[in-house]
Each structure stands twice: as structure tokens, then as C-alpha cells.
Structure 1
Amino acid sequence: MRPQIHTVQTSDQQSLCAKTWGNENNPALVLVHGYPDNQEVWEPIISELINDFYIVTYDVRGAGQSSIPKHVRDYRLQQLSLDLEAVANQILGERPFHLAAHDWGSIQTWESVTEPKFKDRILSYTTISGPCLDHAAWLLRDEVKSHPADFLKKLSKSWYIAAFHIPFIAPTVWSFFTPQKWGKILNGLERKQNLPLNSHISSDGKYGINLYRANFIAALTKPRQRYAQCPVQAVVLMRDAFVSPDYILKEMPKWVEHFEYVEVDANHWAILSEPQKVADYIRQFALSRQAA
């Protein structure tokens, strides 16, 4: 697989590295990576989907070969949504597209999926292990009142979010990670060996922390009512060590008119450990909506 490489200028003058894969005449599919990854994490999935879609990937700001903003505020959800729009406009023009995203890629693209201007532009959305922060905040508010034990359980599972808000220490920790050390962690989580390595892991981890710092407190303290503008499929990872299925199965149907979900027996990085299964679900859901 040899992609074409593009440089996309954002509305605030950042530079994003984007790639396109496959036949331009196929239905368009945009894939957005999570944290602490870059667009290379999608390559096992791309190899499964390249015959069916014209695939667009990009390094989110602060990751991979994209530029690194100076300020935490530059990572806000509204700006990340504008980044997706800039990529789509430059590469796809006015073409509608399907969307799939993982982890923080999913969290940030909920901002676009729930934005009325993307209605009929985003044809379908497959979300993998990344809830809308506003939806998650409403669920937590309900549980702290009615099911405090469930609330505390979710907090304990998301300990890393608080850790990422610690000044200086949290970013510095990433300087000790090599691709091999991070690879061992992924192999252990996914119970598989020789998963693809992230050669940018130190910088991706260090700068991507700003995604958390720019968005979590605002979303949790002042959640908005955000309704999906397209059909949504959730890939629920049954052994996910970081994201509770409750965010998807309990809360998401309240905000999505056309909602489906599938279950995969994998941990958080199923896009690496079970790429064929995940790709099959993306393909089936997107093509069914393409026909519609």
C-alpha cells in the first residue's frame, strides 16, 4: 500500500499531515486515530478496506507528522472539528463521506457527528471506544445521584484522566517510553504478540495530553445536549480497560436516532489486535448506509 501524502492547513494555521489510500471513485471513508497514536495505527484496518473505499487518514494536531500547537486551548473540540472539516474539504471537496474513529479520535469526531452542518455530509459513523464527552457527563451526573457505586467504579477505571492533568510530570513520563516498551504494554493488553509499533510514541504521548486538558473539565462541568446527525454504529470492546461499555449501551441511544452496536472480545486497541473483525463491521455498516 502506497498512499498519497497531503498537507492540510487548518483554520488557525496549523499543518496536518494527511494520506489518501485506494481508488478515488470508491465511497469515501475518513479514519481518525486516538491517543497516544497517529494515523499509522489504521494501517492494519486500511489493508482490509482498501478495495472497498477511498480512505482518508490524518495525523491529529500534535501527533505524528502534524504540527504541534503552542497552547492547550488549541486542542479544544470545536477546533478539532474544524480540522476534520478542513481535511474533508481539501481532499474530498463537497463529497459526503463515512467516518470511523477510535479512542480520542472518536471523542473528538462526536463534535462533528453532532453538528447540524454535517448532516448529510457524514453518511455513517462507527465509533470505537470513545464516547461523546457531553453524553458521558450526563451519564455520570445521573449515576452520582442514583447509583454512586457505579459512578465510583467508572472513576477508578479512568484514573489516567486525572493523572494527565498533573503539570510537568505527566508529559515528562512519556520521554521514558520507547516504541518497544509501548509495544510490550499493547501486547499484554491485547493478549497478542508483535503488534505494530508506534515510532512516534514519546512525542504523541507528550503532546496529546493536551486533548484531555483542553476538554474534560469543561465538558464534565457544563455538558451540552448533542444529538447525532447520522446513523451511528458502536463497536463495543468487551475487555476495554479504559472505557466502560455503559457510556455506549446506557447513554448513547438517548442521543442517536439510528443506533446499532456490535461486540468484540478485545481490549482497547482492537484496531490492532482484531483488524479484520473491526474492518468487517466498518464495511458492513458503511456500505449498508451507502445503499440507503
Structure 2
Amino acid sequence: MSRTDVTGTTSVRFSVTTGDGLVLAARSYGDPGAPTVLCVHGYPDDSLVWEGVVTDLAADHRVVVYDVRGAGASPAPRERSGYALDRLADDMARVAAAASPDRPVHLLAHDWGSLAAWHTVTEERHARLFASYTSVSGPCLDHAAHWLRSRLRPSPRALAEVADEALRSAYIGFFHLPWVPEFAWLTGIGGAAVRALERVGPPKGRPPRDKRSLRNHLNGLELYRVNMRDRLLRPQPRRTAVPVQVLAPTHELFMVESLQASAAQWCEDFRLRRVAGGHWVPRTRPGAVAGRVREMVADVEKGRPRSAAAAGAGAW
């Protein structure tokens, strides 16, 4: 079914059924014959966070977005285990296969979408579905655990980085508390606290303004509760041959840049690009994100991906 939505671009709605029977809501934009870019949102967003990126990229690409399980127009799993990374990766692979059955897609993901996307492209059975991966503000949890362990040595710089990251990630422990985070979102206290910290772009604690937004906030807490502890305590060596581009916002609040850059050791083809802005650059600077993705797609489609040494120091 075709319609013109909030991006002002004509979209085609479709759905994808997950392995455990959920029906995920998806939309596609642009020329079906152009390279496909699959966008995966994070927490507490839904696919609407990609509005600006879609408007830009759909001019010369096919762009596909979907609401992950428990967010937007997609149903939530009945059990907490339904938010496990293995489930999210399988969902992503199914959407990619449905969106582009004849050629791999180019993956773009943000926040928890990036965490799940890392899990997907480092799974051999899924990696063939993806031509490239652009990650924004979301590391692989296994890579993050290895990074943390590498910094636990008697070096002032290493220990300072760990302390810095621990401070930035303190909200994760808060999200594991029973009922307290839910109370914070319902009352707006959580949104006010994070707004005081995040000065660039919509904050992670933006107060829910409607039922859909509130549902995103509450359901997505399970992502932290299901996945963080086991991955950080028992990390695996997750590698990928999919070309990877990490976009590191210059004013990222929730992670240090060296954590994001450390993924290079797990990738055959890796590049790090700085982007001026905060955690929500897909919303606040969609043109910059779209521009970097457009470059990545062009490189891969022409068969000349760059090496890790090509990581750029300048920020758009």
C-alpha cells in the first residue's frame, strides 16, 4: 500500500513476521531498483527518528525503515526473553531478506539499533545479507566488554577512560532497577534529569508525549535488562567481514570515542568518521548522516571499500 507520510515522501507499507510470530511494521521509500539502505532505530525511539535521513537518501536510494519489536507500530513479545539480541538479529535479517531478496542491503543503525546490528553482522548466517554497515552511537556489547577488560591495567589514561565511560553509562544500572525507571518515565522525572545533561539533540530521557512514545520508553527497558549483564560478563570474539563505518558524534554523551574506535580490531574493513553533534545526530543532522552513508554505499557498490587506515579525523 502506497501513501505519502510525514517525510513528504511516498512510502510503501509492508510487514515482516518474526520467528516467534510477531508482525513487524515496515515502510520503504525511493526507487526499488536503487541500492537499499535499511535503517534500524534505537531506544526510546521508533522508525520516525529517520524522517530526515529518509528524505535525503530516498532521492537516490531505496530506504527501508521498520519499528523494532515493542516500539512504534510493532507488537511487543509476551516474554522478556523476546528482547534478547539473538531475537533482534533474527528480526533484522528477516526484514533485510524481505526488503531486498536478490541483493544485500546497506545497514544503518543508531543506539540500540546499532547494538543489535553489530550482533547481526557478526553472525555468519546473517552477514551475507548486508553489503555494508554504518553504526551511529552504539557499540557491540561484546566488543565493549573486551574494551573494558583491556583498560583494566595500571595506566592512568586507561583507568581514566574506564572511569569516564562508567560515569556516562550510569543510567544502565538505573534501568535495571525494578519499577523505578518506569516511574521516572511516567512522571517525567527521568526526562527532566537527562535533558539537564544532553544539550545537543533530543535527549535519551525526552518525556513521552503520547501513548506511542510512552510505550517505546517502557517496553525498551527490557533491552537493558535482558542483554547487558551476560554480554558484559561473558563476551565473545565477534568478528565481521562486512565493511563497517562508525559515525562518532563529537558531543556524544553516552560513550567515549575510544570505545567506538576499538571495534576496528574485529572488522576486516573499518573506518571511523566524526560527525559534529550529539547522540541524536540522525535527527539533528540527518544530512550529515545521509552524506556519510551515501559515500559508504558508493564505495562498496563500486567494489573499492577503504581500509581501516582511511579513518578520517575531521568532523562534518
Structures share fold, TM-score greater than 0.5: yes
Match among 124, 127, 147 for residue 116 of structure 1: 124
Aligned to 1:161: 172
Distance 1:91 1:272 in 2: 23
Number of residue pairs matched by the alignment: 287
2:37 pairs with 1:67: no
Identical pairs, percent: 32
CA contact (8 A) 1:5 1:19 kept: yes
Cα RMSD, aligned residues only: 2.4
Range with bigger deviation, 117-126 or 227-236 = 117-126
Q: Which amino acid aligns with 1:49?
A: L
SS at match of 1:189: coil
Runs of 4+ in 1 over 6 A off after TM superposition: 180-187
SS at match of 1:36: coil
Q: Which amino acid aligns with 1:280?
A: G
Distance 1:269 1:224 in 2: 29
Aligned to 2:263: 252
Distance 2:197 2:109 in 1: 19
Report the TM-score when normalising by structure 1. Answer: 0.92
2:212 pairs with 1:204: no
Task: Report deviation, 1:191.
Answer: 9.0
Aligned to 2:237: 225
Task: Report deviation, 1:286.
Answer: 1.2
CA contact (8 A) 2:198 2:253 kept: no
Aligned to 1:9: 17
Q: Which amino acid aligns with 1:160?
A: Y
2:84 pairs with 1:76: yes
Task: Report deviation, 1:149.
Answer: 3.0
SS at match of 2:236: coil
Distance 2:187 2:177 in 1: 17
SS at match of 1:190: coil
Distance 1:53 1:260 in 2: 22
Task: Report deviation, 1:248.
Answer: 1.5
SS at match of 2:32: coil
SS at match of 1:216: helix
| 1:204-234 CA distance string (max 9 Å, x none) | 1110011111110011000000002211011
Q: Which amino acid aligns with 1:264?
A: V
CA 1:218 to 1:265, structure 2 compared with 1: closer, same or farther past 3 Å? same
SS at match of 1:18: strand
CA 1:183 to 1:91, structure 2 compared with 1: closer, same or farther past 3 Å? farther
CA 1:103 to 1:13, structure 2 compared with 1: closer, same or farther past 3 Å? same
SS at match of 1:93: coil
2:251 pairs with 1:239: yes
CA contact (8 A) 1:233 1:260 kept: yes
Structure 1 stretches lacking a partner, 5+ long:
none
Range with bigger deviation, 199-208 or 162-171 = 199-208
SS at match of 2:20: coil
Aligned to 1:37: 45
Aligned to 1:133: 141
Distance 1:4 1:191 in 2: 28
Structure 2 stretches lacking a partner, 5+ long:
1-8, 304-316
Identify the structure with bigger relative contact order (alpha carbons < 8 Å, sequence gap 6+): 1
2:26 pairs with 1:26: no
CA 1:191 to 1:73, structure 2 compared with 1: closer, same or farther past 3 Å? closer
Aligned to 2:314: none
